[in-house]
Copies of this chain bind each other. A is one copy, B any other.
Amino acid sequence: MTTIDDVARAAGVSASTVSYVLSGKRTISAPTRARVERAIEKLGYRPHAGARALASARTSVIALMVPLRVGVNVPVIMQFVAGVVTRARDFEHDVLLLTQDDVSGLDRVTSGSMVDALVMMDIEADDPRVPLVAAAKQPTVLIGLPQDPEGLSCVDLDFEAAGRVAVRHLVGAGHTDLALIGSPPEVLRRHTSYAERLMRGLRDQAAGSGATVTVEACDSTPSGAVRAVDTLLDAAPDTTGVIVHNEAALPHVLARLAERGRVPGTDVSVVAVCPTDVALAQRIPMTSIDLPAEDIGKVAVDMVLARLGGDQPSETRLLAPVLTERESSAPGPAAR
Protein backbone atom coordinates (compact mmCIF):
# COMPACT_ATOMS: atom_id res chain seq x y z
CA MET A 1 0.00 0.00 0.00
CA THR A 2 1.32 3.39 -0.81
CA THR A 3 0.97 5.93 1.98
CA ILE A 4 1.08 9.65 2.22
CA ASP A 5 4.70 9.39 3.31
CA ASP A 6 5.62 7.58 0.12
CA VAL A 7 4.09 10.39 -1.85
CA ALA A 8 5.81 13.00 0.28
CA ARG A 9 9.17 11.35 -0.23
CA ALA A 10 8.64 11.01 -3.97
CA ALA A 11 7.70 14.66 -4.24
CA GLY A 12 10.43 15.83 -1.90
CA VAL A 13 8.01 17.47 0.53
CA SER A 14 6.54 16.68 3.91
CA ALA A 15 3.44 14.60 4.50
CA SER A 16 1.49 17.57 5.70
CA THR A 17 2.12 19.35 2.42
CA VAL A 18 0.68 16.40 0.57
CA SER A 19 -2.31 16.48 2.84
CA TYR A 20 -2.84 20.18 2.15
CA VAL A 21 -2.54 19.65 -1.58
CA LEU A 22 -5.29 17.06 -1.29
CA SER A 23 -7.60 19.06 0.92
CA GLY A 24 -6.82 22.53 -0.35
CA LYS A 25 -7.03 23.86 3.18
CA ARG A 26 -3.80 25.81 2.86
CA THR A 27 -2.26 27.60 -0.04
CA ILE A 28 0.44 25.61 -1.78
CA SER A 29 2.65 27.09 -4.46
CA ALA A 30 1.94 25.97 -8.00
CA PRO A 31 5.26 24.15 -8.52
CA THR A 32 5.02 22.12 -5.29
CA ARG A 33 1.41 21.29 -5.98
CA ALA A 34 2.41 20.07 -9.41
CA ARG A 35 5.22 17.90 -8.02
CA VAL A 36 2.91 16.40 -5.43
CA GLU A 37 0.18 15.73 -7.93
CA ARG A 38 2.61 14.05 -10.23
CA ALA A 39 3.83 11.83 -7.42
CA ILE A 40 0.27 10.93 -6.46
CA GLU A 41 -0.50 10.05 -10.03
CA LYS A 42 2.65 8.04 -10.49
CA LEU A 43 2.23 6.03 -7.32
CA GLY A 44 -1.50 5.63 -7.71
CA TYR A 45 -1.96 6.92 -4.22
CA ARG A 46 -5.34 6.77 -2.44
CA PRO A 47 -5.70 7.99 1.12
CA HIS A 48 -6.67 5.25 3.55
CA ALA A 49 -10.33 5.78 4.39
CA GLY A 50 -10.00 4.57 7.96
CA ALA A 51 -7.02 6.74 8.74
CA ARG A 52 -8.75 9.70 7.24
CA ALA A 53 -11.92 9.06 9.22
CA LEU A 54 -9.93 8.73 12.40
CA ALA A 55 -7.99 11.91 11.94
CA SER A 56 -10.68 14.09 10.48
CA ALA A 57 -13.83 12.70 12.08
CA ARG A 58 -15.40 12.52 8.63
CA THR A 59 -16.13 9.31 6.77
CA SER A 60 -17.60 10.56 3.50
CA VAL A 61 -20.22 7.89 3.87
CA ILE A 62 -23.89 8.33 4.48
CA ALA A 63 -26.19 5.60 5.70
CA LEU A 64 -29.38 4.85 3.83
CA MET A 65 -32.01 2.74 5.49
CA VAL A 66 -34.32 1.09 2.99
CA PRO A 67 -37.44 -1.00 3.55
CA LEU A 68 -37.16 -4.53 2.25
CA ARG A 69 -40.45 -5.45 3.81
CA VAL A 70 -43.72 -6.54 2.29
CA GLY A 71 -46.21 -4.04 0.97
CA VAL A 72 -43.76 -1.55 -0.38
CA ASN A 73 -43.23 -1.20 -4.06
CA VAL A 74 -39.73 -2.25 -4.89
CA PRO A 75 -39.17 -0.35 -8.14
CA VAL A 76 -40.22 2.86 -6.44
CA ILE A 77 -37.83 2.18 -3.61
CA MET A 78 -35.07 1.72 -6.12
CA GLN A 79 -35.81 5.12 -7.58
CA PHE A 80 -35.33 6.69 -4.18
CA VAL A 81 -32.13 4.74 -3.77
CA ALA A 82 -30.87 5.81 -7.17
CA GLY A 83 -31.53 9.43 -6.30
CA VAL A 84 -29.72 9.15 -3.02
CA VAL A 85 -26.72 7.33 -4.42
CA THR A 86 -26.17 9.58 -7.41
CA ARG A 87 -26.55 12.75 -5.39
CA ALA A 88 -24.25 11.42 -2.70
CA ARG A 89 -21.64 10.71 -5.34
CA ASP A 90 -21.98 14.26 -6.60
CA PHE A 91 -20.68 15.31 -3.21
CA GLU A 92 -17.99 12.64 -2.96
CA HIS A 93 -19.91 10.49 -0.57
CA ASP A 94 -20.62 6.79 -0.59
CA VAL A 95 -23.71 5.05 0.67
CA LEU A 96 -23.91 2.38 3.32
CA LEU A 97 -26.99 0.24 3.02
CA LEU A 98 -29.06 -0.57 6.07
CA THR A 99 -32.30 -2.49 6.07
CA GLN A 100 -35.38 -1.40 7.90
CA ASP A 101 -35.52 -4.45 10.13
CA ASP A 102 -31.97 -3.94 11.32
CA VAL A 103 -32.86 -1.27 13.86
CA SER A 104 -29.70 -1.91 15.85
CA GLY A 105 -27.81 -0.90 12.74
CA LEU A 106 -28.68 2.67 13.50
CA ASP A 107 -26.77 2.61 16.73
CA ARG A 108 -23.98 0.63 15.18
CA VAL A 109 -23.22 3.00 12.33
CA THR A 110 -23.96 6.03 14.41
CA SER A 111 -22.04 5.37 17.61
CA GLY A 112 -19.31 3.59 15.71
CA SER A 113 -18.78 6.69 13.57
CA MET A 114 -19.19 4.69 10.40
CA VAL A 115 -21.17 7.42 8.68
CA ASP A 116 -21.47 11.19 8.57
CA ALA A 117 -25.22 11.30 8.13
CA LEU A 118 -28.35 9.21 7.73
CA VAL A 119 -31.29 9.07 5.38
CA MET A 120 -34.26 6.95 6.36
CA MET A 121 -37.11 5.93 4.10
CA ASP A 122 -40.65 4.80 4.69
CA ILE A 123 -41.28 6.56 7.96
CA GLU A 124 -44.32 5.60 9.98
CA ALA A 125 -46.43 8.01 11.97
CA ASP A 126 -45.04 6.73 15.24
CA ASP A 127 -41.74 5.34 14.13
CA PRO A 128 -39.55 3.78 16.81
CA ARG A 129 -36.43 4.65 14.84
CA VAL A 130 -37.02 8.37 15.05
CA PRO A 131 -35.98 8.81 18.70
CA LEU A 132 -32.91 6.67 18.03
CA VAL A 133 -31.57 8.79 15.22
CA ALA A 134 -32.69 11.98 16.88
CA ALA A 135 -30.24 11.15 19.67
CA ALA A 136 -27.37 10.46 17.28
CA LYS A 137 -24.60 12.94 16.70
CA GLN A 138 -25.03 12.66 12.92
CA PRO A 139 -27.69 14.65 11.08
CA THR A 140 -30.61 12.68 9.69
CA VAL A 141 -33.23 13.34 7.06
CA LEU A 142 -36.45 11.37 6.99
CA ILE A 143 -38.23 10.55 3.77
CA GLY A 144 -41.78 10.68 5.00
CA LEU A 145 -43.40 12.42 7.94
CA PRO A 146 -43.58 11.05 11.46
CA GLN A 147 -46.07 12.48 13.88
CA ASP A 148 -43.26 14.04 15.85
CA PRO A 149 -40.04 14.60 13.89
CA GLU A 150 -38.16 15.32 17.14
CA GLY A 151 -36.15 18.03 15.51
CA LEU A 152 -35.23 16.03 12.41
CA SER A 153 -35.64 17.25 8.87
CA CYS A 154 -38.12 15.61 6.51
CA VAL A 155 -38.83 15.48 2.78
CA ASP A 156 -41.72 13.98 0.92
CA LEU A 157 -44.29 14.51 -1.74
CA ASP A 158 -47.09 16.64 -0.35
CA PHE A 159 -49.58 13.80 -0.32
CA GLU A 160 -52.27 15.86 1.29
CA ALA A 161 -52.06 18.38 -1.53
CA ALA A 162 -51.94 15.47 -3.97
CA GLY A 163 -55.24 14.24 -2.58
CA ARG A 164 -56.78 17.65 -3.06
CA VAL A 165 -55.40 17.99 -6.58
CA ALA A 166 -56.76 14.58 -7.55
CA VAL A 167 -60.22 15.39 -6.23
CA ARG A 168 -60.24 18.80 -7.89
CA HIS A 169 -59.30 17.20 -11.19
CA LEU A 170 -62.03 14.58 -10.99
CA VAL A 171 -64.71 16.92 -9.69
CA GLY A 172 -63.75 19.41 -12.37
CA ALA A 173 -64.33 16.72 -14.97
CA GLY A 174 -67.80 16.09 -13.62
CA HIS A 175 -67.30 13.23 -11.18
CA THR A 176 -68.90 13.25 -7.76
CA ASP A 177 -68.71 9.61 -6.70
CA LEU A 178 -65.04 9.06 -6.04
CA ALA A 179 -62.97 6.26 -4.60
CA LEU A 180 -59.44 5.60 -3.46
CA ILE A 181 -57.83 2.27 -4.10
CA GLY A 182 -54.89 2.55 -1.81
CA SER A 183 -52.05 0.85 -0.04
CA PRO A 184 -52.15 -2.68 1.33
CA PRO A 185 -53.82 -3.10 4.72
CA GLU A 186 -50.50 -3.81 6.43
CA VAL A 187 -49.19 -0.45 5.30
CA LEU A 188 -52.24 1.28 6.71
CA ARG A 189 -51.95 -0.68 9.90
CA ARG A 190 -48.43 0.66 10.28
CA HIS A 191 -49.89 4.16 9.93
CA THR A 192 -47.42 4.96 7.24
CA SER A 193 -47.88 8.64 7.02
CA TYR A 194 -48.18 9.11 3.28
CA ALA A 195 -51.24 6.90 3.09
CA GLU A 196 -52.94 8.84 5.85
CA ARG A 197 -52.00 12.19 4.42
CA LEU A 198 -53.33 11.29 1.02
CA MET A 199 -56.64 10.23 2.53
CA ARG A 200 -56.90 13.40 4.53
CA GLY A 201 -56.38 15.51 1.42
CA LEU A 202 -58.94 13.51 -0.50
CA ARG A 203 -61.55 13.76 2.22
CA ASP A 204 -61.01 17.43 2.90
CA GLN A 205 -61.32 18.39 -0.70
CA ALA A 206 -64.23 16.04 -1.33
CA ALA A 207 -66.10 17.49 1.62
CA GLY A 208 -65.56 20.96 0.24
CA SER A 209 -66.68 20.01 -3.26
CA GLY A 210 -69.78 18.02 -2.49
CA ALA A 211 -68.19 14.79 -3.62
CA THR A 212 -68.03 11.48 -1.80
CA VAL A 213 -64.99 9.28 -1.53
CA THR A 214 -64.99 5.60 -0.72
CA VAL A 215 -61.73 4.14 0.51
CA GLU A 216 -60.52 0.63 -0.18
CA ALA A 217 -57.24 -0.83 0.99
CA CYS A 218 -55.69 -3.06 -1.62
CA ASP A 219 -53.18 -5.89 -1.48
CA SER A 220 -50.36 -5.53 -3.98
CA THR A 221 -51.37 -8.68 -5.85
CA PRO A 222 -53.61 -9.44 -8.81
CA SER A 223 -56.22 -11.05 -6.60
CA GLY A 224 -56.01 -8.22 -4.10
CA ALA A 225 -56.74 -5.77 -6.88
CA VAL A 226 -59.71 -7.79 -8.04
CA ARG A 227 -61.04 -7.99 -4.53
CA ALA A 228 -60.64 -4.27 -3.93
CA VAL A 229 -62.43 -3.36 -7.16
CA ASP A 230 -65.23 -5.81 -6.49
CA THR A 231 -65.74 -4.63 -2.93
CA LEU A 232 -65.71 -1.06 -4.09
CA LEU A 233 -68.25 -1.58 -6.85
CA ASP A 234 -70.53 -3.47 -4.51
CA ALA A 235 -70.38 -0.75 -1.90
CA ALA A 236 -70.47 2.20 -4.27
CA PRO A 237 -71.65 1.08 -7.71
CA ASP A 238 -72.00 4.65 -8.95
CA THR A 239 -68.30 5.38 -8.58
CA THR A 240 -66.90 7.05 -11.69
CA GLY A 241 -63.74 8.66 -10.39
CA VAL A 242 -60.99 6.44 -9.05
CA ILE A 243 -57.68 7.36 -7.49
CA VAL A 244 -55.18 4.52 -7.36
CA HIS A 245 -52.22 4.69 -5.04
CA ASN A 246 -50.65 1.28 -5.38
CA GLU A 247 -48.15 0.74 -8.18
CA ALA A 248 -48.18 -3.02 -8.08
CA ALA A 249 -51.95 -3.34 -8.11
CA LEU A 250 -52.52 -0.63 -10.70
CA PRO A 251 -52.54 -2.81 -13.85
CA HIS A 252 -54.88 -5.31 -12.26
CA VAL A 253 -57.19 -2.63 -10.96
CA LEU A 254 -57.49 -1.27 -14.48
CA ALA A 255 -58.12 -4.72 -15.88
CA ARG A 256 -60.78 -5.52 -13.30
CA LEU A 257 -62.54 -2.22 -13.77
CA ALA A 258 -62.79 -2.99 -17.47
CA GLU A 259 -64.01 -6.50 -16.78
CA ARG A 260 -66.71 -5.06 -14.57
CA GLY A 261 -67.89 -2.85 -17.38
CA ARG A 262 -66.11 0.32 -16.33
CA VAL A 263 -63.47 0.95 -18.95
CA PRO A 264 -60.84 3.40 -17.67
CA GLY A 265 -60.72 6.51 -19.81
CA THR A 266 -64.25 5.91 -21.07
CA ASP A 267 -66.64 4.93 -18.31
CA VAL A 268 -64.50 5.84 -15.37
CA SER A 269 -61.76 8.35 -14.83
CA VAL A 270 -58.67 7.02 -13.12
CA VAL A 271 -55.92 9.07 -11.53
CA ALA A 272 -52.81 7.20 -10.44
CA VAL A 273 -50.38 8.40 -7.80
CA CYS A 274 -47.10 6.87 -8.93
CA PRO A 275 -43.83 7.57 -10.73
CA THR A 276 -44.31 8.74 -14.30
CA ASP A 277 -42.69 5.70 -15.84
CA VAL A 278 -45.19 3.46 -14.07
CA ALA A 279 -48.05 5.66 -15.29
CA LEU A 280 -46.81 5.29 -18.84
CA ALA A 281 -46.28 1.54 -18.62
CA GLN A 282 -49.99 0.73 -18.29
CA ARG A 283 -52.37 -0.40 -21.04
CA ILE A 284 -53.26 3.21 -21.59
CA PRO A 285 -51.10 6.12 -20.46
CA MET A 286 -52.48 7.11 -17.10
CA THR A 287 -53.45 10.49 -15.85
CA SER A 288 -51.22 10.67 -12.83
CA ILE A 289 -49.79 12.65 -10.00
CA ASP A 290 -46.10 12.08 -10.23
CA LEU A 291 -44.27 10.56 -7.31
CA PRO A 292 -40.84 12.05 -7.98
CA ALA A 293 -38.98 9.39 -6.08
CA GLU A 294 -35.54 10.07 -7.48
CA ASP A 295 -35.86 13.80 -6.84
CA ILE A 296 -36.96 13.21 -3.30
CA GLY A 297 -33.90 11.06 -2.77
CA LYS A 298 -31.69 13.79 -4.11
CA VAL A 299 -33.28 16.46 -2.00
CA ALA A 300 -32.84 14.25 1.05
CA VAL A 301 -29.11 14.08 0.39
CA ASP A 302 -28.87 17.82 -0.22
CA MET A 303 -30.60 18.50 3.04
CA VAL A 304 -28.62 16.08 5.13
CA LEU A 305 -25.27 17.18 3.77
CA ALA A 306 -26.17 20.81 4.32
CA ARG A 307 -26.57 19.91 7.97
CA LEU A 308 -23.17 18.29 8.36
CA GLY A 309 -21.78 21.43 9.91
CA GLY A 310 -24.27 21.19 12.70
CA ASP A 311 -25.66 24.68 12.37
CA GLN A 312 -28.64 24.74 9.92
CA PRO A 313 -31.99 24.37 11.65
CA SER A 314 -34.20 21.46 10.70
CA GLU A 315 -36.93 21.88 8.13
CA THR A 316 -39.64 19.89 6.40
CA ARG A 317 -39.89 20.03 2.65
CA LEU A 318 -43.07 18.87 0.96
CA LEU A 319 -42.80 18.75 -2.81
CA ALA A 320 -45.80 20.15 -4.63
CA PRO A 321 -47.79 17.52 -6.54
CA VAL A 322 -48.02 17.77 -10.31
CA LEU A 323 -50.95 16.20 -12.07
CA THR A 324 -50.50 15.29 -15.71
CA GLU A 325 -53.61 14.51 -17.68
CA ARG A 326 -53.37 11.52 -19.99
CA GLU A 327 -55.74 9.00 -21.47
CA SER A 328 -57.30 7.54 -18.36
CA SER A 329 -59.30 10.69 -17.73
CA ALA A 330 -62.92 10.85 -18.87
CA PRO A 331 -65.80 13.25 -18.41
CA GLY A 332 -68.08 12.36 -15.51
CA PRO A 333 -71.89 12.20 -15.22
CA ALA A 334 -72.22 15.87 -14.32
CA ALA A 335 -70.46 16.84 -17.55
CA ARG A 336 -72.22 14.55 -19.98
Number of interface residues of A (CB under 8 A): 45
Cβ-neighbour of A48 out of B48, B54, B281 (below 8 A): B54
Cβ-neighbour of A114 out of B54, B94, B98, B108 (below 8 A): B94
Contact with B along A259-303 (1 / 0, CB 8 A): 000000000000000000000011100000000000000000000
When distances are taken between beta carbons in the complex, the residues of chain B under 8 Å from A44 are 111
When distances are taken between beta carbons in the complex, the residues of chain B under 8 Å from A52 are 50
Interface status of A221 (Cβ within 8 A of chain B): yes
When distances are taken between beta carbons in the complex, the residues of chain B under 8 Å from A94 are 96-98, 105, 108-109, 114
Interface status of A99 (Cβ within 8 A of chain B): yes
A78 and B82: CB pair below 8 A? no
Cβ-neighbour of A74 out of B49, B54, B78, B108 (below 8 A): B78
**How far does the alpha carbon of A96 sit from the alpha carbon of B60 in the complex, in Å?**
12
Interface status of A107 (Cβ within 8 A of chain B): yes
**How far does the alpha carbon of A53 sit from the alpha carbon of B95 in the complex, in Å?**
18
Cβ-neighbour of A49 out of B105, B114, B282 (below 8 A): B114
A97 and B99: CB pair below 8 A? no
Interface status of A9 (Cβ within 8 A of chain B): no
Interface status of A320 (Cβ within 8 A of chain B): no
When distances are taken between beta carbons in the complex, the residues of chain B under 8 Å from A281 are 221-222
**How far does the alpha carbon of A95 sit from the alpha carbon of B89 in the complex, in Å?**
16
**How far does the alpha carbon of A51 sit from the alpha carbon of B59 in the complex, in Å?**
11
**How far does the alpha carbon of A4 sit from the alpha carbon of B94 in the complex, in Å?**
27
A173-228 interface with B by 8 A CB criterion: 221-222
When distances are taken between beta carbons in the complex, the residues of chain B under 8 Å from A32 are none
B282 and A113: CB pair below 8 A? no
Interface status of A166 (Cβ within 8 A of chain B): no
Given A50-B52, A97-B97, A222-B283, 10 more A-B residue pairs with CB atoms under 8 Å apart are A46-B111, A48-B112, A49-B114, A50-B51, A68-B82, A85-B97, A89-B102, A89-B105, A222-B282, A251-B251
Q: Which 3 A-B pairs have the closest CB atoms?
A: A50-B53, A46-B111, A50-B54
